[in-house]
């Protein structure tokens, strides 16, 4: 065997070993892969999440167990402490616990205590809307959620806050029309055109029309959150600059970092799978 052949053999074995390790770490444990659990203690942000959980929920222990194991009986009402008092969040399955952790404890859509207006596109069961509305007793939230079952759960989670939120049971995208909306049992992963094995027809409104209506009523938007399972970047790219100039902060989900989006208006940062666009100082409403 020549030296070159030995080298190639060694490289092949190393690649095979890496593949084996990757396969062994790709074992689901609760809602995460084994590799994720092994790396979790090395991430400082996980300790911040744990601290938020302990401070923000009387049910910290049971919630953590549900989150880690993906088990537990449902429906389940979790309690969270907020700036306007304790709230109950009605959860239908373990995937809702993941949403609760992302919003209230991981603070994926962190908002200032003095927030006035939020827009929640892909509002799901209302967890992020509840977070925005409980930063203070005057905040208002405009919610867009086309899935009827999710919309009903949203109303239950926002009970008592009815005077401060508006629910529009429609999808939001680049263009308006009647669209096929893929649905699945958890209600968390449905979207326009999703191949989930089951779908419903829903009305879709174009994003510029929806935002223009909110801005006409409110003047400005502090936080725009978009979670539409894959359509976020295209939707944001379609927003007209004169509307974006009146929005302070944009959050959206993206599994991979998208191309530049309105770089002249916003400074972009990323944490995990959440992109954060913060309006640059002196631009738009702030600079007027």
pLDDT digits (tens, 9 = 90+) for 143-160: 999 999 999 999 999 998
Q: Which residues contact 220 (CB under 8 A, 6 or more apart)?
A: 116, 117, 246, 247, 248, 285
Report the pLDDT value the prediction gives residue 187, as an integer from 0 to 100. Answer: 83
My answer on whether omega of the bond before 75 falls inside 30° of 0, hence cis, is yes
pLDDT band at 34 (very low <50, low <70, confident <90, very high): very low
Sequence ranges of the domains in the chain: 109-288
Average pLDDT over residues 264-284: 89
Instruction: Give 57's pLDDT tier (boundaries 50, 70, 90).
Output: very high
Mean pLDDT of the 58-62 span? 96
For 255-282, what is the mean pLDDT? Answer: 90
Is it the case that residue 25 has pLDDT exceeding 50? no
Q: pLDDT: is 153 or 40 the higher one?
A: 153
Provide the pLDDT confidence category of residue 27 given band limits of 50, 70 and 90. Answer: very low
At residue 9 the predicted structure's pLDDT band, cuts being 50, 70 and 90, is low
pLDDT digits 0-9 by tens, 112-143: 999 999 999 999 999 999 999 999 999 999 99
Burial class, 263, CB count within 10 angstroms (exposed 0-12 / middle 13-18 / buried 19+):
exposed
pLDDT for residue 26 is more than 60: no
CATH number at 109-288? 3.40.50.150
CA distance 120 to 26: 33
Residue 257: what pLDDT? 86
| Beta-bridge mates of residue 121 | 144, 226
Q: What is the tens place of the pLDDT at every residue in 185-204?
A: 888 888 888 788 888 899 99
Instruction: Kindly report the average pLDDT of the chain as a whole number.
Output: 87
Distance CA 81, CA 279 (A): 29
Nearest to 104 by CA among 160, 57, 40: 57
Coil vs helix vs strand at 269:
strand
Residue 153 backbone dihedrals phi, psi, to 5 degrees? -70, -35
What pLDDT shows up at residue 107? 97
Q: What does pTM read for this prediction?
A: 0.84
Cβ atoms of 201 and 225 closer than 8 Å = no
The pLDDT of residue 194: 79
Q: Which two tokens stand for residue 209?
A: 């029309």
**What pLDDT does residue 21 have?**
38
Residue 32 pLDDT greater than 80, yes or no:
no
């Amino acid at each position: 065997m020549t030296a070159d052949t030995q080298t190639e053999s060694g490289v092949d074995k190393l690649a095979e070993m890496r593949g084996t390790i990757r396969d062994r770490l790709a074992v689901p444990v609760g809602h995460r892969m084994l590799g994720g659990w092994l790396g979790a203690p090395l991430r400082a942000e996980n300790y911040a999440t744990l601290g938020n959980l302990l401070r923000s929920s009387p049910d910290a222990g049971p919630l953590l167990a549900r989150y880690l194991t993906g088990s537990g009986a449902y429906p389940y009402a979790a309690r969270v402490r907020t700036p306007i008092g304790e709230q109950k969040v009605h959860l239908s399955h373990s995937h809702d616990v993941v949403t609760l952790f992302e919003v209230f404890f991981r603070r994926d859509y962190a908002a200032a205590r003095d927030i006035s207006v939020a827009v929640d596109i892909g509002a799901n069961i209302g967890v992020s809307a509840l977070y925005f509305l409980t930063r203070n007793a005057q905040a208002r939230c405009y919610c867009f959620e086309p899935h009827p079952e999710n919309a009903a759960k949203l109303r239950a989670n926002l009970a008592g806050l009815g005077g401060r939120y508006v629910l529009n049971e429609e999808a939001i995208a680049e263009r308006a029309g009647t669209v096929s909306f893929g649905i699945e049992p958890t209600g968390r992963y449905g979207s326009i055109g999703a191949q989930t094995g089951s779908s419903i027809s829903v009305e879709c409104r174009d994003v510029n029309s929806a935002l223009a209506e909110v801005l006409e009523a409110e003047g400005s938007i502090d936080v725009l959150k978009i979670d539409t399972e894959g359509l976020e970047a295209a939707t944001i790219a379609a927003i007209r600059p004169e509307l974006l100039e009146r929005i302070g902060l944009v959050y959206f989900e993206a599994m991979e970092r998208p191309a530049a989006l309105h770089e002249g208006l916003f400074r972009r940062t990323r944490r995990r799978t959440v992109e954060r666009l913060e309006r640059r100082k002196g631009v738009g409403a702030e600079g007027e």
